[in-house]
Structure 1
Amino acid sequence: MSMDIKQSIQNGKTVLGIELGSTRIKAVLIGEDNTPIASGSHDWENSYVNNIWTYSVEEIWKGIQDSYQKMASHVNSQYGISLKKIGAVGFSGMMHGYMAFDKNEELLVPFRTWRNNITEQAATELTKLFQYNIPQRWSIAHLYQAILNKEEHVSDISFLTTLAGYVHWKLTGQKVLGVGEASGVFPIDLDTKKFNQKMVGQFNELTESRNLGWQLESILPEVLVAGDNAGTLTEEGAKLLDVTGELEAGIPLCPPEGDAGTGMVATNSVAKRTGNVSAGTSAFAMVVLEKDLSKVHTEIDLVTTPTGNLVAMAHSNNCTSDLNAWIGLFDQFTKASGMNVDMDTLYGTLFNQALQGDPDGGGLLSYGYLSGEHMTHFEEGRPLFVRTSESNFNLANFMRTHLMTAFGAMKIGMDILIKEEGVQLDEILGHGGVFKTKGVGQKVLAGALNVPVSVMETAGEGGAWGMALLGSYMINKADNETLDDYLNEKVFAGQSVETVTPEAEDVAGFEQFIERYKKGLAIERAAVENL
């Protein structure tokens, strides 16, 4: 087997995906069968400088070079060859944010990441103007807020892009974005798969009196879709990526994408009527829609798949942190009692207890709001556990309640889609820590959404692998082969998938729980205001 892989590497039949996440930059090299053969990663943290969450340009390149170098060393130690040729490369990054450059290609202000909630006025005004939800973290909200703030740099902007777009531009000279990443910059026209021209015009009219010296279309990148060629690695780009100088220039790059899009690819949920839920510290549900929503919902973000299909995103800031803290308490108890129980066993035991609980959690209520929760309109949070004297207070209900509440805020967003907008879903793919204990998180989520929930064995591979798959699709696709077909037939065909279908009593129980959850928000409000 390793001989075949060695030949693939020598013949440049591999594909490299690099994703710049908020805490880690990861490089994954895949072989001809689309499975990972080498990887490398670099940990980093954002800095809070002058009231802005940012990463410096030096840190960006240091992190990319380090993760690339570790991956290349992995290739060398495993297969005894140095990496010179690669079939294709692709970059993805945290979506949204603001990187503005002048005509000399200099960064005008430090990179403003998606974490900055400093654009409320801009986001509200643009949502009203476009009749389309513009969240605070979107690039256009950052740009318009800078205009409203009369920031000096605005008139010097020659090019505006995202983190992934910036890296791609420096390596290829091409000012482009994949449509999924672009959909977090400015709304996309679903027919043309480009920025919405009507809204671009509205923005130009809105800012006309400010004499900025540019029109919006002149500073935005070009939008490409999955499968398009997005340029090649230049001589300078090759030296920037591989500081040892081994890597050859001329490698094709696929369109740079956002971490939402790579997550969809890595979970094989880019087809209409599918979706995925990523559940860890926060919970993201992404649903690929068949048509536009009937009206603007500020709780729902709209982005697209890497092929330009509309995706509704219900995002909650809080998911498993409070649940993990309670399990930490049980861990302390077992240690204090002289028992040596490892964390996997502890999680497995406690999660399985939840399956013995009453369908509605026995009248218990909790909120795992360690931070604010925009879905339910809280700027700050207070983790709470509440019961009445009539509640059925036992371990099974305690665990079940904490698992249900982990999906509570996200369910409120999903109910808007499923109940108000009539969105149809065939299946949801679950990935993230909450699904590690077999069948438990799946069963709770299936009850919450009344949709079958599947978990795949590769769910842990993550966004860098998803990015590599987009590169593989670009160079290996057959004529007219869609990304959906490519993933189904060439990547996920042999995957073992475990599916849990919703049970009527779980669905009814979760409905009872969510009514209690909504009524109890007044208790959470009082805690935030008084504690």
Structure 2
Amino acid sequence: MSIEKIKEQIIEGEIVLGIELGSTRIKAVLIDVNHTPIAKGNYEWKSQYINDIFTYSLDDIWKGIQSCYKSLKDNVKEEYGVIIRKIASIGISGMMHGYMVFDKDDRLLVPFRTWQNTTTECASKKLTKLFDYKIPQRWCISHLYQAILNDENHVENINYMTTLSGYIHYKLTGNKVVGVGEASGMFPIDLDKKNYNNEMINAFDNLVKNHNYNWKIKDILPKVLLAGELAGTLTLEGSLLLDNDGDLQSGCIFCPPEGDAGTGMVATNTISERSCNISAGTSIFSMVVIEKELSRVYEELDLVMTPDGKLVTMVHVNNCTSDLNEWMDLFSEVLKTFGVTVQRDYLYEHLFKQIETADMDNESMLLYNFLSGEHILQLVNGCPLFVRSPNSNLSLSNFMKVQLYSTICVLKLGMDLLQEEGIKIDYVLAHGGLFKTRGVVDKIVSSALNVPVSLMETANEGGAWGMAILASYIGSSQSLESYLNNIVFSKVTKRTINPDLLMMKSYNEYAKRYTKGLPVVKLASQTINKEF
């Protein structure tokens, strides 16, 4: 589409905006009527570790959103010479789960507790047993029940509990709602009713009735909406929160806010049954849309939903790129001591490609990237660890090999369980920053899981683009699956990589040694966290 036509769409307000707040970056994507990205905005941030809790302050949240939107506006002004004043529809996405609770005056009662925290093991186990349904530590209901078990004073004052995307959506529109995919990471959803499971709602209320709180769980949860439903409009106050320059007009419509899992499924067109996507960033997770419920509760497998309400089994791993990023920062710092500055993307690409010359038959190194705790392994506290035998070949290529192998090892442990359930996967789509250097990590994943892995040409657009698609879907008469297949992805090409037999053998051997070494990591974690 020509610049003049895009400019006309911007002036007429036919554009659609998706914003996603990830763990390390807030990204905004503006799309045209053909769902093509025409401008982007970015803001880098990271969580703070305060009083043994991973958190982001409200000030940082709004500074990040406003800075990201300002970056988008500047991009539009530079590329098209106009200022964004009208937007057709907006969607907000964020890292899922966590704990944000407010009193009747909308005051945050305790600092935002993110999904990274692994402090709710007791609540998670009790609720899983009560519901006979896997309730992960990072889910909102786990955080709430753990606060109750801890006798935290703020619980009696709770008026509203939500997620990061639900909170931002509320502040921009005044509506306390979330999409069904986001809701499924707060509290279990009834597959038929596409709403909170009433039997489990009653069980939870009965569990905490002796505390005599003035709320019931359903009273403090946001309303559940499906993809395509209208979720509110931008208020005047909301427009100023998003664009503090005051250029953006109020009144544009919003789709239901969704979590990063849901937007990842949309961005990779993996919302149909027997499809799978793997998203790799700060955390790594796989999403497989399944045809029936699991036969039993698995500690390693979570159940969530697509934005249109299909059942998904999810393997969620807390740790993926955070430790890797710190090593890459160290390499960058070393280069700077020699007066050499290397662009970040080039540094990653160049070092990732070093594994092409690694020893595939030398498995004498192990790396554990646990910067934070890992619930699947019952590892409460983080403890990054690199170990090697005295006769190992400590070359850059071998070091990068174990770095990249380690990013998906825990995911593989969970994915291997799907075979027990006879779950079939027709195709796997990969996306996220870890796959930016093509032919490297996608090849590792394909070899580790023994399945072809594809990347779409739109893979790098990520969840913010997926959120914009959901915003454009408001009011459509088609199913979301048809909308994606027939309109959004009808002309999108993808590249598929198949398992490499030599790497498959290498990875399987590494995975065996990795599993045997896990007790060492747990002991190291207990020792170092107790000592320091």
TM score, norm. by length of structure 1? 0.88
Amino acid at match of 1:115: Q
Q: Does 1:109 align with 2:106?
A: no
CA distance in 2, matches of 1:448, 1:121: 33
Aligned position for 1:367: 367
Aligned position for 2:356: 352
Aligned position for 1:135: 136
Aligned position for 1:309: 310
CA distance in 2, matches of 1:166, 1:276: 27
Q: Does 1:383 align with 2:385?
A: yes
What are structure 2's unaligned runs of at least 5 residues?
none
1:411 to partner: Cα distance:
0.6
1:72-83 to structure 2, matched below 5 A, reads 72-83=73-84
- Secondary structure of the residue that 1:264 maps to in structure 2? helix
8 Å CA contact 2:25, 2:45 repeated in 1 = yes
CA distance in 2, matches of 1:415, 1:315: 13
Amino acid at match of 1:490: I
Aligned position for 2:27: 26
Aligned position for 2:469: 469
Amino acid at match of 1:347: L
**How has the CA–CA distance of structure 1 residues 150 and 412 changed in structure 2, closer, same or farther, with 3 Å as cutoff?**
same
- Secondary structure of the residue that 2:208 maps to in structure 1? helix
CA distance in 2, matches of 1:321, 1:69: 27
Aligned position for 2:494: 497
CA distance in 2, matches of 1:428, 1:520: 29
- Secondary structure of the residue that 2:253 maps to in structure 1? coil
CA distance in 1, matches of 2:241, 2:261: 26
CA distance in 1, matches of 2:172, 2:339: 57
Deviates more, 1:273-282 or 1:33-42: 273-282
Of 484, 487, 490, 1:487 maps to: 484
**How has the CA–CA distance of structure 1 residues 235 and 502 changed in structure 2, closer, same or farther, with 3 Å as cutoff?**
same
1:469 to partner: Cα distance:
1.0
**How has the CA–CA distance of structure 1 residues 364 and 291 changed in structure 2, closer, same or farther, with 3 Å as cutoff?**
farther
Amino acid at match of 2:481: D
Amino acid at match of 2:463: G
**How has the CA–CA distance of structure 1 residues 47 and 388 changed in structure 2, closer, same or farther, with 3 Å as cutoff?**
closer
8 Å CA contact 1:323, 1:368 repeated in 2 = no
CA distance in 2, matches of 1:467, 1:77: 24
Q: CA offsets per residue over residues 130-182 of structure 1, 9 Å max, x none?
A: 11121222111121122222333322222211121111112222111001111
1:350 to partner: Cα distance:
1.4
1:104-183 to structure 2, matched below 5 A, reads 104-183=105-184
**How has the CA–CA distance of structure 1 residues 242 and 301 changed in structure 2, closer, same or farther, with 3 Å as cutoff?**
same
CA distance in 2, matches of 1:122, 1:281: 25
Amino acid at match of 1:486: Y
Q: CA offsets per residue over residues 197-242 of structure 1, 9 Å max, x none?
A: 1100100111112111221111111101111111112233223322
CA distance in 2, matches of 1:522, 1:468: 44
1:482 to partner: Cα distance:
2.1
1:129 to partner: Cα distance:
0.5
Deviates more, 1:313-322 or 1:234-243: 313-322
CA distance in 1, matches of 2:15, 2:445: 37
Amino acid at match of 1:469: I
**How has the CA–CA distance of structure 1 residues 63 and 525 changed in structure 2, closer, same or farther, with 3 Å as cutoff?**
closer
1:80 to partner: Cα distance:
2.7
Aligned position for 1:427: 427
1:381 to partner: Cα distance:
2.9
8 Å CA contact 2:94, 2:164 repeated in 1 = yes
CA distance in 2, matches of 1:233, 1:451: 44
**How has the CA–CA distance of structure 1 residues 248 and 282 changed in structure 2, closer, same or farther, with 3 Å as cutoff?**
closer
8 Å CA contact 2:349, 2:437 repeated in 1 = no
Aligned position for 2:347: 343
1:66-465 to structure 2, matched below 5 A, reads 66-319=67-320, 343=347, 346-347=350-351, 349-354=353-358, 357-358=359-360, 361-371=361-371, 372-378=373-379, 379-387=381-389, 400-417=401-418, 419-465=419-465
CA distance in 2, matches of 1:459, 1:258: 17
Amino acid at match of 1:383: L
**How has the CA–CA distance of structure 1 residues 88 and 153 changed in structure 2, closer, same or farther, with 3 Å as cutoff?**
same
Q: CA offsets per residue over residues 403-425 of structure 1, 9 Å max, x none?
A: 434322111011112x2222211
- Secondary structure of the residue that 2:204 maps to in structure 1? helix
8 Å CA contact 1:285, 1:410 repeated in 2 = yes
Q: Does 1:518 align with 2:522?
A: no
- Secondary structure of the residue that 2:499 maps to in structure 1? coil
Aligned residues: 522
CA distance in 2, matches of 1:337, 1:175: 53
Q: Percent identity?
A: 51
1:507 to partner: Cα distance:
4.4
**How has the CA–CA distance of structure 1 residues 253 and 385 changed in structure 2, closer, same or farther, with 3 Å as cutoff?**
same
8 Å CA contact 1:435, 1:442 repeated in 2 = yes
CA distance in 2, matches of 1:236, 1:323: 40
**How has the CA–CA distance of structure 1 residues 282 and 365 changed in structure 2, closer, same or farther, with 3 Å as cutoff?**
farther
8 Å CA contact 1:375, 1:410 repeated in 2 = no
8 Å CA contact 1:351, 1:437 repeated in 2 = no
- Secondary structure of the residue that 2:192 maps to in structure 1? coil
Q: CA offsets per residue over residues 501-526 of structure 1, 9 Å max, x none?
A: 23566545544443333233344455
Amino acid at match of 2:54: W
8 Å CA contact 2:369, 2:406 repeated in 1 = no
8 Å CA contact 1:435, 1:441 repeated in 2 = yes
- Secondary structure of the residue that 1:170 maps to in structure 2? helix
Amino acid at match of 1:446: S
Q: CA offsets per residue over residues 247-294 of structure 1, 9 Å max, x none?
A: 222211000111121122222222221222223454322222222112
8 Å CA contact 1:454, 1:499 repeated in 2 = yes
CA distance in 1, matches of 2:299, 2:123: 14
- Secondary structure of the residue that 1:37 maps to in structure 2? strand
Q: CA offsets per residue over residues 464-517 of structure 1, 9 Å max, x none?
A: 111111101115x3x2x2222222232223223111223566545544443333
1:392 to partner: Cα distance:
9.5
Amino acid at match of 1:157: I
**How has the CA–CA distance of structure 1 residues 281 and 21 changed in structure 2, closer, same or farther, with 3 Å as cutoff?**
closer
Amino acid at match of 1:62: K
CA distance in 1, matches of 2:355, 2:164: 38
8 Å CA contact 1:114, 1:138 repeated in 2 = yes
1:5 to partner: Cα distance:
0.6
- Secondary structure of the residue that 2:460 maps to in structure 1? coil
TM score, norm. by length of structure 2? 0.88
Amino acid at match of 1:521: L
8 Å CA contact 1:123, 1:136 repeated in 2 = yes
Amino acid at match of 2:467: M
1:323 to partner: Cα distance:
6.2
**How has the CA–CA distance of structure 1 residues 526 and 101 changed in structure 2, closer, same or farther, with 3 Å as cutoff?**
closer
Deviates more, 1:195-204 or 1:510-519: 510-519
8 Å CA contact 1:425, 1:451 repeated in 2 = no
Deviates more, 1:102-111 or 1:295-304: 102-111
Note the aligned Cα RMSD (angstroms). Answer: 3.1
8 Å CA contact 1:322, 1:383 repeated in 2 = no
